Structure 1
Amino acid sequence: MSTNSGPAYDIQRPLKFPFLGLDDEFTEEILEKAPFNLGPEYPNEDPTMTLPVWIDNICAFPGQAIPVCGYEYYEFYEAGKKKDGYVGIIPHMKKPSPRPRGIIYKVVHLSEKGNDQFFTARLLACYIFHSSISINMPKFLLEPVYLGSIKVQILLESLHPLTLEIMRDKGTIVPSGANRFFRSHPWPDLLERIKSYYQEVGLPEEYITKAMDQSPARISYYFSEMAILSYDEKVTLLNAISIEGRIVLVLDLIRNYRGICCQDCGKNIESEGPQVISVTGVCPLFYNRGGFAHRTLTMKTEDQDRRMPFVLYDTWFPDYGWSYLTCNRCTNHLGWVFMQAEDGVEPTFFQGIRMSQITIKRAERDVNGEEKIAHINE
């Protein structure tokens, strides 16, 4: 990977999407609130809320800001604005659950300017909720499914009582299985492992300090956004039974990561690991001018040929130009290579990989304890 003495890239800059009509005072509100300044708990005494709820292929943890774009979203988010700007989204699950968790989003901005063909909006993920009714999850989902106005219960997560008892060293007598898990994963050790990982993926020190200063629940949410995860893995983490369990599962997924490959032909994609370029995580969601969504994995890479035709037009990362990245075996469009437009900012190059075009390889153990590789698609 290229290194020079230039300053680190400002990882808040990708939150701006001027070509989608969102570069105004609402952008400043996003920069002020996300992902660390939303507050650790639900602000009202009554942890319930009635709001319009949909099933959709969106999963973002509290604290994140995501864009949406397209005609199909206009009614979807306009309805949310009539309810104090809040909407509920239950991520679609391949394996149905009668009481899946969802996310409450605040509609910060809904705009019709900037593009004649699409409505654009910005959502702040605020809280996790349980539905008051059983959800009939469709097997396939091609567009958002409206469930109606539903009363939901805000989930106020905190550290498990056993973690607190262990931290107080009171020697509480508990079932051996639970005792073994929580004593094997003490909270201070989990925090150290999270901090070490942040340093590994290049999260600037000032953001590490902010991230580690959050409530335990928000620490677990932000840590989840910093790992290479498929959509289904994110939904699994959303439904984790405890904060500690969520963090341990993310650590396991990181430890068992064995690389990525082209989804079409299986050729390995050479990379040096994830690289934080956006404060929202290593797989930020972007829309292009055509209204197509791309969950984009930002990865470290070696120096590229500077003679490549890099383009600054409609870049998602201000100060970086982009060029197409294709599989050198089957020519599948894997994503983009980004290069600094002017000498100075670091990194000089990085890759933006389309999650929809790759397969994540993870190690698993068979019944004999031997490692095998599972291939996980978006």
Structure 2
Amino acid sequence: MSNDESHSRYDGSLTADHSYLGLTDEHALNFPPFTILPNKTKIECPLLASRFCLYPGEILPIITDDGDAINVLERVRTSENGYCFHLCRESPFDTNLYGVLLQLTHFRADADEISVFAKLKALQIFYFTEGVRLQAYGIEVFVFNLKVSGEAIKEEISNLMINACDPKWLYQQSQTFEIPRNMLRFLTNHNWDTLKAKIFRYYLSIGMDENFAKTKLEEDPAFVSYYLISNVPMTLKEKQSLYVESVESRITYCIDNLVARFIRISCNRHNCLLAKNGDFIFVSHAGLCQLFVNPAGFYFYVVTVKSNHLALGTSENTWYPNYNWGYLLCDCTRHHGWGYSSFTSEPKMFACIHFKSCNIVRFPVMNQSEYPPFETRELRERDWIVRYDGY
């Protein structure tokens, strides 16, 4: 794996006593008045061409050669706090500013091309009251508005392409994992040490660095829960329902149900097999499940899987530099995504399956109501909850 060149100030890590807004960070004390959105509040933020939620803790890689975008990212990198705000409004008549605060964690300019590779970490979803000018607090603002058709109209930053993958950080060797169906069993009384062991094994199976995994498990269980729902194949409805649950529920539901009971991904028209247990492939730091937005603003939520089909298409507009791409069709000739192949990079071949055209098939999944009540478990969300008293 190639080395990341990260600015020392923006390492993306959070300490054990952090708040998701980073208010204990010496670089992040100068913030305007804001309100944290309460649990179960849903705002359709046009981040990533919208109708898709970006959750706290998720990483948003950006690849761009647009001069205006590079200038904005450079200002974020050199600012005192290293934060920017992705802006949206719930309606044209709403004067409040809703959105996601983002922290710049990596910034690298390519020596051979006029382009920038950056990573932004989502910290918290909230809103500022009307009349607040974020620039006055040293916070850069990315603005994206949406048409009803779903096309993203870029304002202030033209031609900014957002990709949930950074090919410059591709693994040099193919790293795969098999979802261990019988690895985990439901426990009547959850023990945090037992859960940590489960999650640690899952983290290693999808290619996470061992030391990083240990640190996150000890310091930030909330990040653990968001990382799981970002890297376990699931429907958008399942992801949204997990988002409003507690930290504990997210972890146990992902591990004990969505991971352990997975069978296959199949065509939603004629049930053709697209991927089975063991077919998933980890090709970038973005993880297994990635989100892409094309220049027209339409988004594609995909999962990467192993493939033995040579893509004899084109490299033009490819999401992965050095890879040719072609359409991925199943036995009933339905379009399910794209195949990628390369003669110079590893893995040689893989495919991106688009979730909109497929079904995720599992053994019967236990309902949330069947879990033991929280008071019977050692693991409680109140032990992890971020408190903002005094800020």
TM bin, normalised by shorter chain, reads 0.5 to 0.7
8 Å CA contact 1:278–1:284 kept in 2: the answer is no
SS at match of 2:204: helix
Q: Which amino acid aligns with 1:192?
A: A
* 1:64 aligned partner: 59
| CA 221–202 in structure 1, closer or farther in 2 if over 3 Å, else same | same
* 1:292 aligned partner: 298
| CA 127–320 in structure 1, closer or farther in 2 if over 3 Å, else same | same
* 1:373 aligned partner: none
| CA 366–249 in structure 1, closer or farther in 2 if over 3 Å, else same | closer
* 1:315 aligned partner: 318
* C-alpha distance in structure 2 between counterparts of 1:31 and 1:281, whole Å: 23
Residue identity over aligned pairs, in percent, reads: 21
Shift, 1:309, TM fit:
0.8
2:225 aligned with 1:249: no
| CA 107–91 in structure 1, closer or farther in 2 if over 3 Å, else same | farther
8 Å CA contact 2:33–2:128 kept in 1: the answer is no
* 2:111 aligned partner: none
* C-alpha distance in structure 2 between counterparts of 1:292 and 1:281, whole Å: 21
User: 1:144-223 residue pairs with structure 2 within 5 A?
Assistant: 184-203=189-208, 205=210, 208=213, 211-212=216-217, 214-223=219-228
User: 1:1-378 residue pairs with structure 2 within 5 A?
Assistant: 10=1, 33=10, 36-37=12-13, 41-42=18-19, 43-44=22-23, 50=33, 55-56=45-46, 57=50, 58-61=52-55, 62-66=57-61, 86-87=84-85, 103-105=100-102, 124-129=120-125, 184-203=189-208, 205=210, 208=213, 211-212=216-217, 214-241=219-246, 243-251=247-255, 252-271=257-276, 272-301=278-307, 304-306=308-310, 308-332=311-335, 334-342=336-344, 345=346, 347-364=347-364
8 Å CA contact 2:292–2:299 kept in 1: the answer is yes
* C-alpha distance in structure 2 between counterparts of 1:51 and 1:141, whole Å: 31
8 Å CA contact 1:225–1:280 kept in 2: the answer is no
* C-alpha distance in structure 2 between counterparts of 1:320 and 1:121, whole Å: 18
Shift, 1:247, TM fit:
0.4
Q: Which amino acid aligns with 2:231?
A: M
Unaligned segments of structure 2, at least 5 residues: 36-42, 77-81, 91-97, 107-115, 130-147, 153-185, 368-391
8 Å CA contact 1:66–1:123 kept in 2: the answer is yes
* C-alpha distance in structure 2 between counterparts of 1:351 and 1:188, whole Å: 36
8 Å CA contact 2:87–2:100 kept in 1: the answer is yes
Q: Which amino acid aligns with 2:288?
A: V
Shift, 1:335, TM fit:
1.1
Shift, 1:248, TM fit:
0.3
* C-alpha distance in structure 1 between counterparts of 2:199 and 2:14, whole Å: 21
| CA 289–87 in structure 1, closer or farther in 2 if over 3 Å, else same | closer
SS at match of 1:232: helix
SS at match of 1:313: coil
Shift, 1:329, TM fit:
0.7
Post-superposition Cα deviations, 1:290-309, rounded to whole Å, max 9, x if no partner, equal: 543222211234xx254x41
TM, length-normalised to structure 1: 0.55
Number of residue pairs the alignment of both structures matches: 275
| CA 198–51 in structure 1, closer or farther in 2 if over 3 Å, else same | same
8 Å CA contact 1:11–1:278 kept in 2: the answer is no
What is the CA RMSD across the aligned residues, in angstroms? 5.0
* C-alpha distance in structure 2 between counterparts of 1:194 and 1:204, whole Å: 13
Shift, 1:255, TM fit:
1.9
8 Å CA contact 1:89–1:105 kept in 2: the answer is no
